[in-house]
């Protein structure tokens, strides 16, 4: 038998706020955890100094369970040919925005979990640590477990769920195809194997003996009830939090989420090198959502100056407008209110 959610995470409500790198910090996590859900701090885009500050902020404001999330990709080998091809594809836009591509610095904006980050986990001892793109190397994973943290990771296929179980995670997030942001896929790059929450969740529940959390397409209390009916122990909700007062969602991103066009999303690798769900914008439409871009996260480099230039003119044409397929839960309300409403039928 799988553990109940209470046994696992000591939560009042079966609601987990999805970690969303780039659009939130500890403020959102604190609000959700204090409201009885599980708030999450995304760390992939934080320096170690910023990570320390954010962890300290949570400790100061919250004595409820919370989650700290890391990416755990293998740092890529730069690929000069792909980088050049990607810049060539973007060159008409560089011309349009009068950007000298030769001045764009190289370098990634997303770091994988590291020994230095583990030191901070040892220091702050967060109750839950979650990973995206699989799990870190076993010495790092063992280090996290040794702190007493519950370890969670996302599976996008039954095979990934079985693999995570074999590695000793405490719970699995079944990430349906609807979910906004990066697909957690790590055993395969074949997106034809990526299926919806309704299709994926029951298959993962059958395949593993662990609590399974549902993610993707859940926007309201009925959505939470639906995934609990399918056997999930909790719902992980991301998109619905993006307009909350405590989210750091950019103005162009907020505008896109409020626009009727938000129903048009696609998996795209244009912003980072890995498939992630974004509202369809100009660059996705004109170049196609998927292309031969540099490996994750290096694709972000070449498109970065275009994003900045366009955003300066209030255009999200080159910005990752992460959103799931169900933006209907997005409201400009406090995150605590949203959390309680999501969990109200529990």
| Residue ranges that bind a copy of itself, judged by CB under 8 A | 157-158, 176-178, 190, 192-193, 195-200, 202-203, 206, 216-220, 222-223, 225-231, 263-266, 280, 324-326, 328
Tokens of 10: 């000591």
Distance of CA 229 to CAs 39, 222, 226, 233, Å?
23, 10, 5, 9
**Residue 140 vs 179, nearer CB to a copy of itself:** 179
φ/ψ of residue 15, rounded to 5: -130, 125
What distance in Å separates the CA atoms of residue 231 and residue 229, rounded to the nearest whole number? 5
* Nearest distance from C-beta of residue 291 to a copy of itself, angstroms: 14
* Nearest distance from C-beta of residue 16 to a copy of itself, angstroms: 16
* Nearest distance from C-beta of residue 206 to a copy of itself, angstroms: 7
**Residue 78 vs 231, nearer CB to a copy of itself:** 231
**Residue 80 vs 229, nearer CB to a copy of itself:** 229
* Nearest distance from C-beta of residue 252 to a copy of itself, angstroms: 19
Asked if residues 72 and 274 have their Cβ atoms less than 8 Å apart, the reply is no
Selection from 167, 164, 49, 176 nearest residue 111 by Cα: 49
**Residue 72 vs 205, nearer CB to a copy of itself:** 205
Q: Say what the alpha-carbon torsion angle 156, 205, 322, 287 is, to the nearest 10 degrees.
A: 30
Asked if residues 211 and 251 have their Cβ atoms less than 8 Å apart, the reply is no
**Residue 116 vs 199, nearer CB to a copy of itself:** 199
* Nearest distance from C-beta of residue 157 to a copy of itself, angstroms: 7
**Residue 91 vs 344, nearer CB to a copy of itself:** 344
Q: Which residues of 52-61 are buried (b: 16+ CB within 10 A; e: fewer)?
A: eebbebbbee
* Nearest distance from C-beta of residue 1 to a copy of itself, angstroms: 17
What distance in Å separates the CA atoms of residue 61 and residue 18, rounded to the nearest whole number? 19
**Residue 6 vs 188, nearer CB to a copy of itself:** 188
**Whats the size of the chain, residue-wise?**
346
Q: Measured in whole angstroms, how far is the alpha carbon of residue 149 from the centre of its chain?
A: 19
- Phi-psi category of 217—alpha, beta or left, where left has phi over 0 and alpha has psi -120 to 50? left
* Nearest distance from C-beta of residue 344 to a copy of itself, angstroms: 13
Asked if residues 210 and 171 have their Cβ atoms less than 8 Å apart, the reply is yes
């Amino acid at each position: 038998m799988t553990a109940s959610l209470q046994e696992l995470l000591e939560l009042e409500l079966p609601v987990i706020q999805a970690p969303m790198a780039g659009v939130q910090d500890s403020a959102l996590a604190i609000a959700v955890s204090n409201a009885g859900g599980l708030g999450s701090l995304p760390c992939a885009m934080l320096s170690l100094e910023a990570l320390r500050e954010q962890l300290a902020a949570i400790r100061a404001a919250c004595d409820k369970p919370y989650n700290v999330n890391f990416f755990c990709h293998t740092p890529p080998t730069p690929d000069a040919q792909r980088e050049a091809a990607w810049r060539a594809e973007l060159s008409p836009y560089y011309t349009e925005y009068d950007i000298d591509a030769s001045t764009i610095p190289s370098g990634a904006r997303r770091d994988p979990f590291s020994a230095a980050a583990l030191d901070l986990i040892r220091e702050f001892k967060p109750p839950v640590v979650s990973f995206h793109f699989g799990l870190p190397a076993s010495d790092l994973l063992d280090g996290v477990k040794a702190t007493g943290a519950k370890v969670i990771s996302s599976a996008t296929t039954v095979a990934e769920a079985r693999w995570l179980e074999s590695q000793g995670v405490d719970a699995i997030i079944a990430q349906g195809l609807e979910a906004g942001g990066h697909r957690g896929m790590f055993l395969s790059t074949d997106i034809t194997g990526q299926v919806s929450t309704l299709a994926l969740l029951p298959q993962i529940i059958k395949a593993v003996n662990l609590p399974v959390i549902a993610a993707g397409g859940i926007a309201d209390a009925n959505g939470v009830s639906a995934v609990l009916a399918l056997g999930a122990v909790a719902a992980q909700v991301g998109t619905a939090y993006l307009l909350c007062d405590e989210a750091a969602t950019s103005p162009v991103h907020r505008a896109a989420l409020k626009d009727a066009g938000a129903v048009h999303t696609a998996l795209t690798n244009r912003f980072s090198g890995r498939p992630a769900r974004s509202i369809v914008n100009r660059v996705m439409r004109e170049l196609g959502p998927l292309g031969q871009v540099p490996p994750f996260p290096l694709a972000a480099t070449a498109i970065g100056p275009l994003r900045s230039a366009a955003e300066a003119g209030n255009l999200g044409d080159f910005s990752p407008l992460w959103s799931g397929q169900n933006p209907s839960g997005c409201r400009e309300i406090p995150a605590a209110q949203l959390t309680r409403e999501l969990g109200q039928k529990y």
